[in-house]
Structure formats: structure tokens, C-alpha cells
Amino acid sequence: MIPGGENSAVIAASPLGEAAPRRWWHFGEDLALALLLAIMVALPLAEIVLRKFSTGIPSAPDFLRHLTLLVGMVGGVVAARDGRLLALATAPALLRGRWKGVALVFSTGVGAAVTAFLCVASLQFVRQEREGGGVLAYGIPLWLVQLAMPVGFGLICLRLIWRAAESWARRAFTLVLTTVFVLAAIFPPVAISSLTLPALAGLLAATALGAPIFVALGGTAMLLFWGRDVPITAVSIEHYGLVTNPALPAIPLFTLAGYFMAEGGASQRLVRVFQALVGWFRGGPAIATALICAFFTSFTGGSGVTILALGGLLMPVLIAARFSERDALGLVTGAGSLGILLPPCLPVILYAILAKVDIKEMFLSGLGPALLLIGMTGAWGVWAGRKAPEGRQRFNLGEAGRAVWFAKWELLLPVVSIVALFGGWATPVEAAAVTAFYAFLVAVVIQRDLGILRDCPRVMTEAGVLVGGILLILGVALGLTNFLIDAQIPDRLAEWAAIHVQSRWVFLLGLNIALLFIGGLVEIYAAIVVVVPLLIPIGARLGIDPLHLGIIFLANMELSFLAPPVGLNLLLASYRLNKPMSEVTRAVLPLLGVRFIGVLLITYVPWITLVLPRWLR
């Protein structure tokens, strides 16, 4: 998902009378998203303070859970408005002219039809909840907040159709196509069971042609339920259940902290620190690159923001240190995914929620493997830079001290996060709020990189858009997972593994290979929601600790960012550094091999993962 969209150009070209209402509507959406995130930060902070004097804020956790729902839906609506819903979108890059337009209309028609059914399923769910008479707190009917789901999906559906083309004729044709798909599902011309496979094939084609990932997962779930004559409301029930999970607010809060870091001047200050500390000796810039990328990724939740924020800064540093352009490109691309195993990275939190393990123990489990992969990446960089001449300057203690002093507030961010997480005075969600607030203070009040009115709403909107795209995927993916569980797929896989796979080590080797393939094709958050519930029963049968299984899973996902042909890091490095995909792929292959060895060590030496959580229990 690349920042930016076409709407600004469309609005600018529109007549003033038509553009002004749209601009005000879009401003209102952005402002609402920023305000919702601000409340999500303020509510846990107030709870921490008031808990010292009383019992805290009544129903605060319930409000926070449903604020996550609102942020997810509003963020999804804004992402659809700007054309920034997460998608594989591999085929459209190969198409030109009329065929590209045809592909866009078809994929949009399918996407809008699936979203329309998600809207209908959500309406059915809200109707049931309204009849149940549930209350959120203070007499507020629960269904009023849940209404955000059908309204959000409805707006996303309309915006998908709007963005299908710039001409009204093509938009009208897309609307007609969407209507045809919807009517074919409501009034099937033949038996439903005979339509399921062709419909799944069409959905797969639409996904390859650019339909959003949430459409692929939600559409698959609804088609499978539809084929078994199960109400599609099941998808909305699972969506609501996941998005309002008590631990899930940590995801938007840590994401917000990462965006305050990335959008300010923190990247330049941190690059200066690591360059001053380790960049003065031969190979030192490689170590600095590994450290700074891991630091950033641990807070931004994935490698996308890291490469976009740091790629342009680190490449010149490595070239100036006489690294070859290929080695520098491979190092920046490969290091971009480091940090996924470090606290407080979002995939670790999500795995802990789904696997029902303690979040703090998951973070402890990831520290050893994360340091191993960072060290191996830095060591490869030192080896790659062995032919470079010695640095022109010796270690400068004064420059190192100045660099650390200027970046001291950013360097304290992980300390604040870890103390809040493990100090015992804040829950994981409250620790996330503390981290986000601290990142806000550093960027706005202390360093003054961002203006509170000029920049903060924009940064918070950017964070909300990413959160919205992720939560759409997570919610509908859980619907697919629920179908697989209802069909007893995990139990059958566990039974098959018990009969045919006697050795846990053989199973883990096969798992590494399968996850590398899956991670290269499926977005990491969707992979966690769909695949993890399938693996947990098998791991339990084979006696694999769920903490160890989780780190193996996440380490493979981290590696798959580099996997050809469509690893996320390859795509983003090609975009950010203006290099052909083939060149980026060749550059990263040596580091891909080194990191695969690291993943094997994590897999076959459980002590690396389990020593800390067992020692601190």
C-alpha cells in the first residue's frame, strides 16, 4: 500500500462547486479518524491516572474495544477513498491500455459485490443485536456503535465503484456489473453447490487483477458458508468479535507511535547515532543499517514504512562507505523486515491473541531470535563490505556523544514501551497508549518536528488508514478461519500429521518451506489469522511449545518479505529506490540465504526462543 491516491487530482480538476463539498466531506472523515485515535490514546492514560485514586473509569475497556471498531471502519472508508486498500495487484502492472481498464472494471465489480454482501451481512448482524437489546454503557445501545459496520462497508462499496474509472460511463458499467454479480448470488440460476467452485475461481481471478485482499478473504468465507447453506452473517459475527477483542486496541496505538516516529525527524537523528557509534569501522555502516531498521520496524509493525522512511537515507550512507551498489541495495532491502520479533511489534501481539498465549511471554520469546537475525544480517553486511577501504575518520567520541544527546528522546522510546509493558502498572493496551503519547510528545513538543495542527491530523490519518486496511483483513479473515474450524480442518490436519509425520523436526522443516511460500503470496496479518489456528492443534499433537511455534511462524513471515517474486520488501525497495525488480531480487538473494540459515537455527534450537520466558516465569 503506497501512500497517496488519485482523488486529489480528480478534485483539483473538478468545478469549484463540485469539488468544495467533496473536500469538506473528506476533511470531515480525516478529522473524525484523527479524533477517534486521539480518544483511544487519552482513555487508557486517564484510566491509569484515575486508578491511583479510585476504581478508574467504568466501562473504559468496552469503550476502547468499540473505538477500535470505529477506527477500523473509518480507516477502511478513507483507504477506499484514496485507493489505498491492501491488494496483491500483481497482474495490473503487466497490463496496458484497454486490457488494464477491463481488468480494473472486472476486479472492481467483484470487489464491490463482495463488499455489498458484507454490508448486508453486517445489517443482519446489527438487526439481531438490536433485538437483543445490548447496552454498551451509560444507556448507549450497542447496536448504534455496531451500525458502523454496515455503513462502512456500504461506503467502501460505493467508493470502489467510483474509483473504477474517471468516466461516468465506465462507472455506470461497473455498477451494472456489480448488480449482476449480486443478483446472480441472490437468485442463482442453478444449484448453489455447483456455483461455489466457479465463483471461487472468479474471485481468485479478481484478486490477481487487483481486488483488495479483504475482498478475497471475505468473499471466500461467504462463498463457502453460502455453499453449505449457512447464513453469511457468520462472517460479520466473527469480524465484530475479533475487532472488539480486548487486546486488539494495542495495534492501532503502537501503529500511531510508529507513525509519529516515521513522519518526524527521528529517522535522521537515529541514522546519525548508529553511524557515529558503529559506522566508523569497516563494515560498520552495515551494522548501523541493521540496527536502525530493526528499531524502526519494531514500532511501525512491518517493513513497509521502514523502507519508505529510511531507504533513501541509508543507500547513500552505504555507497559513501564504498559498498557496491548491489550489496547496499540488498542490505537495505533485507534489513527492512528486521524487528518483527521485537516488542512492541504488531504481528507478535496478533499471534498472542489468536494462539491465546501471554503477550509479555511472546515478546520475551522473540528477543533472542530477533537479536540472532539482526546479528547475522549485520555480519553479512560486514563480510560484503570487506573490500571497502578503511573509514576516512576514526571514532569520534564527541560526535557520538552529540548524536546520542540529540536523539536521546527517540532512544528512550523502547525503554518507555518496555517499562510500561513489564513494569506491572499498565496492561498491554495501556502500555501502547503510553508509548503513543510519548512518541507524540517527542515529535510535537520536544523536538517540534511536527505541528500540532499543521501535521498531527495528517499523521494520525495516515496511521488510521493503515489500521483500517489491516482490520478489514483481520475481521473477514477470521470468518474464513471460522469456516475451516467448523469444517474440522485443524483436527483433520492434526490427525493426518499424527499418522504421517512422526518427527516434529520433519514437520518443522516442511513448515518452514510452506510458510516461506505462503508469506510470499499472502499479507502477513491475513496469514496469521488464517494459518495460525490450523497450526496450533498440530503443534500441540507434536509437543511443540506454542511460544516456539509462534516465533518460527513469525520468523518465516519476516523472511518471506524477501521471497521472490512478490515479496513486499522487493516491491517497496524497487518503488522507493527506483530500481528494477530483477535487480532488487538479485541483490537480496545472498542475504535471503543467510537469513534462511537463521530461521533454521531458530526452528531447531528451541532454547534460543524459550530461555527468557522460562527463566522469568
My answer on whether 458 and 549 are in the same domain is yes
pLDDT mean over 107-132: 90
Return the pLDDT at 94.
59
pLDDT mean over 217-230: 84
Whether 47 is in a domain gets the answer yes
Omega into 344 within 30° of 0, i.e. cis?
yes
Q: Is there a contact between 81 and 159 (Cβ–Cβ < 8 Å)?
A: yes
HSE-CB for 289 with a 13 A CA cutoff = 35
Question: 245 or 165: whose pLDDT is higher?
Answer: 245
Last residue of a domain, one of 208, 228, 243: 243
Kindly tell me if the per-residue pLDDT of 303 is higher than 60: no
Split at pLDDT 50, 70, 90, the class of 146 is very high
Tell which residue, 142, 132, 134, has the closest CA to residue 69. Answer: 142
Return the pLDDT at 271.
81
My answer on whether 263 and 232 are in the same domain is no
Return the pLDDT at 159.
92
Q: What percent of the chain has pLDDT over 90?
A: 21
Kindly tell me if the per-residue pLDDT of 564 is higher than 70: yes
pLDDT mean over 387-393: 57
pLDDT mean over 379-386: 84
My answer on whether 205 and 350 are in the same domain is no
Mean pLDDT highest for which of 373-382, 513-522, 576-585?
373-382
The tens digit of pLDDT for each residue in 470-498 reads 888 888 888 888 787 777 776 777 777 76
My answer on whether 317 and 204 are in the same domain is no
Kindly tell me if the per-residue pLDDT of 359 is higher than 80: yes
Q: Is there a contact between 602 and 552 (Cβ–Cβ < 8 Å)?
A: yes
Split at pLDDT 50, 70, 90, the class of 392 is low
Tell which residue, 519, 582, 571, has the closest CA to residue 92. Answer: 571
Q: What percent of the chain has pLDDT over 70?
A: 89
Return the pLDDT at 209.
83
Last residue of a domain, one of 210, 226, 243: 243
Return the pLDDT at 579.
79
Whether 64 is in a domain gets the answer yes
Split at pLDDT 50, 70, 90, the class of 95 is low
Kindly tell me if the per-residue pLDDT of 418 is higher than 80: yes
Return the pLDDT at 387.
64
Alpha helix (H) ranges present in 133-167?
A: 142-146, 148-162
Question: Residue 27 is which amino acid?
Answer: F
Q: Is there a contact between 214 and 206 (Cβ–Cβ < 8 Å)?
A: no
My answer on whether 313 and 266 are in the same domain is yes
Split at pLDDT 50, 70, 90, the class of 299 is confident
My answer on whether 223 and 330 are in the same domain is no
Whether 1 is in a domain gets the answer no
Whether 2 is in a domain gets the answer no
Kindly tell me if the per-residue pLDDT of 15 is higher than 50: no
Last residue of a domain, one of 213, 243, 273: 243
Question: Residue 266 is which amino acid?
Answer: A
- Provide the 3-class DSSP secondary structure of residue 264: coil
Least confident range of 87-101, 176-190, 278-292: 87-101
Kindly tell me if the per-residue pLDDT of 391 is higher than 60: no
The tens digit of pLDDT for each residue in 257-274 reads 888 887 877 878 888 888
Where does 399-545 show beta strands of DSSP type E?
Answer: none
Question: 481 or 190: whose pLDDT is higher?
Answer: 481
Return the pLDDT at 93.
56
Tell which residue, 563, 604, 607, 602, has the closest CA to residue 585. Answer: 563
My answer on whether 270 and 230 are in the same domain is no
Only one residue has cell 502500555, namely 431
My answer on whether 229 and 259 are in the same domain is no
The tens digit of pLDDT for each residue in 176-189 reads 888 887 877 776 66
Whether 361 is in a domain gets the answer yes
Return the pLDDT at 575.
64
The tens digit of pLDDT for each residue in 519-563 reads 766 777 778 888 888 888 888 888 889 999 999 999 998 888 887
Structure letter (DSSP) for residue 57: -
My answer on whether 198 and 289 are in the same domain is no
Whether 131 is in a domain gets the answer yes
My answer on whether 59 and 158 are in the same domain is yes
Return the pLDDT at 7.
34
Tell which residue, 373, 439, 391, 371, has the closest CA to residue 275. Answer: 391
Kindly tell me if the per-residue pLDDT of 18 is higher than 70: no
Return the pLDDT at 9.
31
Return the pLDDT at 203.
87
Whether 220 is in a domain gets the answer yes
How far is it, in rounded angstroms, from Cα 267 to Cα 442?
13
pLDDT mean over 118-123: 92
Whether 25 is in a domain gets the answer yes
- Domain containing 605: what range? 250-616
pLDDT mean over 399-419: 87
Return the pLDDT at 96.
66
Split at pLDDT 50, 70, 90, the class of 566 is low
Kindly tell me if the per-residue pLDDT of 11 is higher than 50: no
CA distances, 153 to each of 156, 160, 232, 289 (Å): 5, 10, 14, 41
My answer on whether 204 and 264 are in the same domain is no
How far is it, in rounded angstroms, from Cα 606 to Cα 549?
9
As for how many domains the chain has, the answer is 2
Return the pLDDT at 261.
81
Tell which residue, 348, 378, 372, 374, has the closest CA to residue 360. Answer: 348
pLDDT mean over 455-468: 90
How far is it, in rounded angstroms, from Cα 434 to Cα 440?
10
My answer on whether 221 and 321 are in the same domain is no
Q: What is the mean pLDDT of the chain?
A: 82
